[in-house]
Amino acid sequence: MPNLPIRIAEPRVADNRGSVLSAAARFSLAAPAKINLFLHVTGRRDDGYHLLESLVVFAETGDRLVVEASEDLSLAVTGPFAAGLPDGGPDNLVLRAASALQHAGEIKTGAHIVLEKNLPVSSGIGGGSADAAAALRALSVLWSIDPAFSRLAGIGLSIGADVPVCLNGRPAMMTGVGETLRDAMAPPPCGVVLVNGGEGVSTPEVFAVRTASFTDNGDWQTPPTFDAFIEALTGRKNDLSDPAMSVSPVIGEVLAVLSETRHCALARVSGSGGTCFGLYPDIASADHASSAIKAAHPDWWCVATTFRDKVPMIVPA
């Protein structure tokens, strides 16, 4: 991923430095799941990178990072999906982000990072990107590096297209290859069910099999009520849905199961798959749907959640 200028309507990244953190040497930070409520492929650059238009929001569920001072840079992975993400691999986004920040800040010390992996790997909900973004934020505090959004996002974009939007941590319209962000109004309150059928999905493979034409950019304004919100989303789509299902057919089964649950107003793939989401008028409906899906498909990952209304804060661990 090339280094590109980061453009955002209000350049900022949440930072809660202060007396609470100044004496701490060990920090914890949530890395929430990213949900693409819609995703349009709007073009392709000469270098092969695709241009996107996507409405991105974040869920209350996600991974968690803990960082603490150390002589060397190291990573330990825990949690239910730790086995799918070996410690210290050269492609691990958390270590790549940490190493890039260490180099950019000319930091001579290291850090020990513990990643609690609660989200499926290669699942279209930004787990790796959210983890990398959390590492950049937490380590900038640990190492006393200026946490300006443009600086961190520039590093993040060199690691992955979704890292800048995960750094931003707010509902946003993401365009370009991920470098252009515009704040979006938060969705109205609703329940969300996330379901993954257990197959990791390769984003490059999904793009490689996509043959449809490009979608024109639109003008999105988030409606204030649930019914109007669903109606507006229905007029959008995920251009990667069909190619994702051709790569991983279980996605089609997951969408069908979600769609059949009571009160599900919309079921869609997030990102390039394989996690799908269902939207419900309230969390009680989402809880009921999640319980039904877990009972029928105990081998699937399924969780009921809500959209986050605040950016995760760094706290002493």
**How far apart are alpha carbons 176 and 53 in whole angstroms?**
7
Assess contact for 222 and 185: CB atoms under 8 A. Answer: yes
Is the per-residue pLDDT at 34 higher than 60?
Answer: yes
> What's domain 191-305's superfamily in CATH?
GHMP kinase, C-terminal domain (3.30.70.890)
Q: pLDDT tens digit string along 173-201? A: 999 999 999 999 999 999 999 999 999 89
Higher pLDDT, 302 or 16: 302
CATH 3.30.70.890 range(s) for the chain read 191-305
Burial 258-270 (b: 16+ CB within 10 A, else e): beebeebbbbbbb
User: Per-residue DSSP letters for 140-176?
Assistant: HHHTT----HHHHHHHHHTT-TTHHHHHH-S-EEEEE
Element (H, E) at 194: strand 191-196
**How far apart are alpha carbons 38 and 270 in whole angstroms?**
8
Assess contact for 162 and 57: CB atoms under 8 A. Answer: no
The residues that bridge with 302 in the sheet, in sequence order, are 195
Q: pLDDT tens digit string along 38-65? A: 999 999 999 888 999 999 999 999 999 9
- In this prediction, residue 21 carries a pLDDT of 52
Q: pLDDT tens digit string along 269-305? A: 999 999 999 999 999 999 999 999 999 999 999 999 9
Grade residue 263 by pLDDT with cuts at 50, 70 and 90.
Answer: very high
**Mean pLDDT over the full length of the chain:** 91
CATH 3.30.230.10 range(s) for the chain read 7-184+308-316
Two tokens, residue 200: 């990791």
Assess contact for 311 and 170: CB atoms under 8 A. Answer: yes
Is the per-residue pLDDT at 20 higher than 50?
Answer: no
The residues that bridge with 50 in the sheet, in sequence order, are 44
Higher pLDDT, 257 or 83: 257
Q: Taking the model in full, what pTM does it have?
A: 0.92
Task: Point out the residues that are catalytic.
Answer: 34, 162
Contacts of 5 (CB under 8 A, 6+ apart): 154, 179
| Architecture of the structural domain at 7-184+308-316 | 2-Layer Sandwich (3.30)
